[in-house]
Chain A
Amino acid sequence: MTAGAPVDEGRTSRLPIRVALPYHLRTLARVEGDVELEVSPPVTLGAVLDALESRYPTLRGTIREYGSGQRRPFLRFFACEEDLSHQSLEVELPGKVVNGEEPLLIIGAIAGG
């Protein structure tokens, strides 16, 4: 099952995967703008999160709960105008994300008053 265009596994060069983090996670990771990650195919949501946490260990536990590995309740995943929050981590990301044209958006829910 895929959520976007099939990935060309035969490509020898690819743009990095872009991830847009919410403000507080950018501050924690000490980055500005989108994060760029190299992720080997298949580029699934889980693989991108693994790569993100590997490159920025400070973010471990802030997006996915320790233990359960579940997305934190007040965070959502979006890409290419699709809500990926409730999809399996094993689902491949949309082609434009895989090709680096569009970012994976990690968004903090607007909650509170």
Chain B
Amino acid sequence: MSGVRVLVGTRKGAFILTSDGKRRDWHVSGPFFAGWEIYHLKGSLADPNRIYASQWSGWFGQMIQRSDDGGQTWTPVGNKFAYDGTPGTHQWYDGTAHSWEFKRVWHLEPSLTDPDAVYAGVEDAALFHSRDGGANWQELSGLRGHGTGPDWHPGAGGMCLHTILLDPANPARIFIAISAAGAFRTDDSGQTWKPINKGLVSNFMPNPTAEVGHCVHHVAMHRSRPNVLFMQKHWDVMRSDDAGESWKEVSGNLPTDFGFAIDVHAHEPETLYVVPIKSDSEHFPLDGRLRVYRSRTGGNEWEELAKGLPERDCYVNVLRDAMAVDSLDECGVYFGTTGGQVYASADSGENWSPIVRDLPGVLSVEVQTLQ
């Protein structure tokens, strides 16, 4: 019997929401790691019982937790993230050189084929890899050291590597994104990297089309077309049809093209979802109305999805890793808010309802489709 498991990271712990394929009745378990910030949880495609979680506290630092039974029990694994060699410097907020310092893990991306292999995107921006279930972590330092690192600088949330996309068709190809540096790609399993930001325009930069420095908020792909990427930049929704070699804007008729989250329908590679946010000065929906926007044309033409979402007085945000889709026949779409709601649609976004309304602020949402 099919079902879904929604993994929710919040500011005060992790929660797991489960339902059968109808996605009407939900069971909520948690909080796990109560009181800690859970930046991200993600399950392995190769073994759905294997889930990794990033657990962080301002007092006690970083922990990585691993479950081998679908989130029922957890074991702390390795939490030592040491930069390879001399860390060097990046730009600080005031433009001065600042030493790289590990702060936390923003995103965990399990291998598509090996449950024991997992990538970690960290702040200050770097990519780490574990081949032993999270016990030991090694930096893929070719990214940080490829040459543009001294020009990277932190966004308001810190200089975080928040997006990791593994190419299902090419195990040696990985896409990552950093705020505020941009998107990068490796074609040799992380040894060498190149910036892939041609076509991005960021007017806050002295050179708006510079090779690096762009505040990329999130990037998504459909597994069947790994060369097609969709990006929610600080401002602008962008699309690449050549694995990031070039980008074009597809914001089209969106009421505002600022936002954080973006995702692609599980079965329709040209259908994508964003949650427009008013501006970088006001991180909440336009007019207090929470809306998802869907494009069925790969961008440019967007439709408002509002049924079941707050019509007024809603001033939450939806963060970059807080949207996900399931792969049941009728694609489910999920997102969490900084107000603690997790909304679900079991019909590709037509109708929405809250699974939970009163969790701590949601940092991340991932979905496992269980067969």
Chain A residues within 8 Å of B, Cβ to Cβ = 22-25, 28, 58, 60-63, 65-67, 72, 74-75, 108-109, 111
Contacting pair A61 B80 (CB below 8 A): yes
Chain B residues within 8 Å of A, Cβ to Cβ = 35-36, 57-63, 76, 79-82, 102
Q: Please give the distance in Å from B137's CB to the nearest CB on chain A.
A: 11
Which chain A residue lies CB-closest to B34?
A27
Contacting pair A72 B82 (CB below 8 A): no
A-B contact count (CB 8 A): 42
Interfacial chain A residues near B59, Cβ < 8 Å = 22, 24, 72, 74-75, 108-109, 111
Q: Please give the distance in Å from B127's CB to the nearest CB on chain A.
A: 18
Q: A24-B35, A28-B63, A61-B62 are in contact. Are A66 and B57 (CB under 8 A)?
A: no
Of B35, B58, B76, B82, which is within 8 A of A66 by CB?
A: B82
Which chain A residue lies CB-closest to B57?
A24
Dominant secondary structure at the A interface: loop
A-B contact pairs, 15 of them (CB 8 A): A24-B57, A25-B60, A28-B60, A28-B63, A58-B76, A60-B79, A60-B80, A61-B61, A62-B60, A62-B79, A66-B81, A72-B60, A74-B59, A75-B60, A111-B59
Which chain A residue lies CB-closest to B33?
A27
State in angstroms the CA–CA spacing of A76 and B60 once bound together: 12
Which chain A residue lies CB-closest to B87?
A67
Interfacial chain B residues near A23, Cβ < 8 Å = 35
Q: A24-B35, A28-B76 are in contact. Are A65 and B60 (CB under 8 A)?
A: no
Interfacial chain A residues near B36, Cβ < 8 Å = 24
Interfacial chain B residues near A61, Cβ < 8 Å = 61-62, 79-80
State in angstroms the CA–CA spacing of A72 and B61 once bound together: 8
Q: Please give the distance in Å from B88's CB to the nearest CB on chain A.
A: 15
State in angstroms the CA–CA spacing of A85 and B81 once bound together: 25
Choose among A62, A72, A109 the residue with the greatest number of B CB atoms under 10 Å from its CB.
A62
State in angstroms the CA–CA spacing of A112 and B80 once bound together: 26
Contacting pair B61 A65 (CB below 8 A): yes
State in angstroms the CA–CA spacing of A65 and B102 once bound together: 10
Q: Please give the distance in Å from A26's CB to the nearest CB on chain B.
A: 12
Choose among B59, B63, B79 the residue with the greatest number of A CB atoms under 10 Å from its CB.
B59
Interfacial chain A residues near B102, Cβ < 8 Å = 66
Choose among A24, A58, A109 the residue with the greatest number of B CB atoms under 10 Å from its CB.
A24
State in angstroms the CA–CA spacing of A101 and B273 once bound together: 62
Contacting pair A74 B76 (CB below 8 A): no
Interfacial chain B residues near A65, Cβ < 8 Å = 61
Which chain B residue lies CB-closest to A109?
B59
Q: Please give the distance in Å from A89's CB to the nearest CB on chain B.
A: 18
Interfacial chain A residues near B57, Cβ < 8 Å = 24
